[in-house]
Amino acid sequence: MSARKHAFPPVVDEHTRVLVLGSLPGERSLAEQRYYAHPQNQFWRLISAAAGRDIAALDYDARLAALIEARIGLWDVVASAERKGSTDAAIREPEVRDIAALAASLPELRAIAFNGGTALKHGLRQLGQNASRFATIALSSSSALHTVPMAEKLPQWQRISDYLT
């Protein structure tokens, strides 16, 4: 069996208004210990459009600071899992996060956005009845493995900006 993969801590503060949830970091992200490290992943370009600022052009620490400044939080729905490779389809034996507890700890949270179908499926299940307390946004995955052109993903991702002010 493949090694157990572990996700990263949340990137949030008390002013977070939108929480973007992924599934589980891919191999490149795990190796570099950075969210969305693979250069072909479109996350940083898509979130830049939502934030109204070129976050993708910044170094990693500045990217995280820019997210916080824009009131955007970042986390994953799976805390750890067995997985060979980087695909969500290969996730086995997931240990899930307590999304409801994190959401309850964020007093200004207005929306939760799910980066891809796996994040949406696990995240809504984890939120349960608490899901109705927030707007939920289903996003096309930013992964390079999800071959929808960025231009088609962009309108969904730009909906995040509706909840930031």
- pLDDT in the model for residue 76: 97
- pLDDT in the model for residue 68: 98
Instruction: Measure the CA–CA gap between 78 and 96, rounded to whole angstroms.
Output: 4
- pLDDT in the model for residue 84: 87
Measured torsion, CA atoms of residues 99, 101, 106, 109, in degrees rounded to the nearest 10: 50
- 12 contacts 72 by C-beta, under 8 angstroms: no
Instruction: Measure the CA–CA gap between 77 and 114, rounded to whole angstroms.
Output: 9
Question: Which two tokens mark 130?
Answer: 């608490």
41 as an active site residue: the answer is yes
- pLDDT in the model for residue 47: 98
Alpha helices in the chain (DSSP H): 27-32, 43-51, 60-69, 99-104, 117-127, 150-158
The residue type at 98: D
- 81 contacts 25 by C-beta, under 8 angstroms: no
Q: What is the mean pLDDT of each run of 10 residues along the chain (165 residues)?
A: 86 98 94 95 97 97 98 96 84 91 97 96 91 94 84 95 95
Q: Cα 28 to the chain's mean position, in Å?
A: 16
> What's the pTM value of the predicted model, to 2 decimals?
0.95
- Which residues are 113's β-sheet partners? 20, 137
| Neighbouring C-alpha atoms within 13 Å toward the C-beta of 147 | 0
- pLDDT in the model for residue 2: 64
Q: Which of 16, 29, 41, 48 is catalytic?
A: 41
- 17 contacts 124 by C-beta, under 8 angstroms: no
Instruction: Measure the CA–CA gap between 6 and 81, rounded to whole angstroms.
Output: 7
- pLDDT in the model for residue 130: 86
